[in-house]
Amino acid sequence: MSFGKGAKLQIEYVNQNGGINGRPLELVEYDDKSDVPNIIANLNKLIQEDKVFATIGPFVQFGQEPARQIAEQNKVPMVGDGPATLAQLKGTQYQWSVMTAAGPPTQADALTKIIKANGWKNILGIADVLAIHQETLDLLVEGASAGGYAFTKMKDTFGFDQQDFQPLLNRMMEEINKANPDAIIIYVNPLAAPPLYKGLRALGVTVPIQGSPAAAHPAIFSMGPEAVEGFLVLDSGGIVNPAALPDTWTLKTLQLEFFERYQAKYNEMPDFFSADGADTVTVLVEAMKQAGELDQAKVAQALTNLKDLPTLEGIMTWTPQATSMGVTGSMVEFIVKGAQFQLVNPVN
């Protein structure tokens, strides 16, 4: 899992550069298997038996809420991944933890700007079961009238165990023939993107097809690069090809350095998820430095007051009143050409 690789690489980097006040970071790691009971059991073990100072993760979105509750109850600082749901953004803003990733409002804002820039007026969208994908499209539906476009969100959805995409493609073609869209958004996981994109092209669909930050991942080449040629991909921060970003891009130097370290260690390119893992470490380390001492309460307070922190995913900021989403911009549009993510432009 690239999330774990990114986190471990960043811990290694911090330790090579003096650690925290001369003390190295030590990682205690358990596999939660993306299962909430395992997440809860592992966190309790980390806190009560291993006596960790702070936690990072879990990776899965649906594990964030129970993990944050445990951090709050035990008064242990936590940097979670996310992305937050709309309910989490409006709900309890925990004071012992923060969430990093760009949530539905940030992603919907970027997509709205992409829609406007391309002059799309009639869009068809489909999403897998992930809350970030469903709720981002929901916001596009809500903003359609004000944005000057029509948006049809399909009710059809699917999970990570989907293997036969033909029935779904058939349903999409029914909606395409009915709505005659000038663009299609497939907000799905990176393993589902290739069969959907390739399938639509094989069925004669020629309009632009837009993907989510989850598709900023080498897994989209699983059916061969030609299967996703021309696929538009939104990325958080632009880590899939930082060299292509303009020199004025605030995060570029940071991203290039991480890109090189990641490739050197793992012999593969980093992706959205590896950046996410590294950023959980970056955020925690910055809070520890700002706290000035290894005091858990002071680190938690520093976490919820971090401002304008450059990370691989974007500039992150929290306040005690808003601790559930660090990234509020820094989205970048790429297009897949010749097995490469080529820059279209930074979006927001």
pLDDT of residue 134 exceeding 90, the answer is yes
Where do we find the tokens 């938690």?
300
Q: What is the CATH number of domain 2-101+252-316?
A: 3.40.50.2300
User: Is the per-residue pLDDT at 334 higher than 80?
Assistant: yes
Q: What is the pLDDT of residues 284-317, one digit of tens each?
A: 999 999 999 889 999 999 999 999 999 999 999 9
The pLDDT tens digits of the residues spanning 1-41 come to: 799 999 999 999 999 999 998 999 999 999 999 899 999 99
Structure tokens at 315: 């500039």
Task: Mark 180-217 as b/e (b = at least 16 C-beta within 10 Å).
Answer: ebbbbbbbbbbbbbbbbbbbbbeeebeebbbbbbbbbb
Q: For 166-181, what is the HEC assignment? A: HHHHHHHHHHHHHHCC
Distances (CA, A) of 40 to 48, 70, 77: 12, 8, 15
pLDDT for 142? 99
Chain segment 200-232, per-residue pLDDT in tens: 999 999 999 999 999 999 999 999 999 999 999
Q: Say which CATH architecture domain 105-246+331-346 belongs to.
A: 3-Layer(aba) Sandwich (3.40)
Q: How confident is the model at residue 194 (pLDDT cuts 50, 70, 90)?
A: very high
Three-state secondary-structure class, residue 239: coil
- Please report how many Cα atoms fall inside a 13 Å half-sphere around the Cα of residue 184, on the Cβ side: 25
Say if CB 328 and CB 317 are below 8 A apart: yes
What pLDDT score was predicted for residue 27?
A: 96
Q: What is the mean pLDDT of the chain?
A: 97
Is there a common fold for 2-101+252-316 and 105-246+331-346?
yes
CB 42 within 8 A of CB 29: no
Q: How confident is the model at residue 86 (pLDDT cuts 50, 70, 90)?
A: very high
| % the chain with pLDDT above 90 | 96
Where do the H-state alpha helices sit in 29-130?
A: 36-48, 64-74, 86-90, 104-118
Look at residue 218 and give its three-state secondary structure: helix
pLDDT for 46: 98
Question: What pLDDT does 21 receive?
Answer: 85
Residue 247: CA atoms inside 13 Å, Cβ hemisphere, count? 0
Instruction: Give the pLDDT score at 182.
Output: 98
- Please give the model's pTM, rounded to 2 decimal places: 0.95
Look at residue 274 and tell me whether its pLDDT is greater than 80.
yes
State the Cα torsion 150-154-159-160 to the nearest 10°.
-50
> DSSP alpha helices (H): ranges in 104-192?
104-118, 131-142, 144-147, 166-179
Domain boundaries, the chain: 2-101+252-316, 105-246+331-346
Provide the pLDDT for residue 1: 74
- 35, 309 contact by CB (below 8 A): no
Report pLDDT for 293: 85
Section 125-154 average pLDDT: 98
What is the arithmetic mean of pLDDT over 51-67? Answer: 95
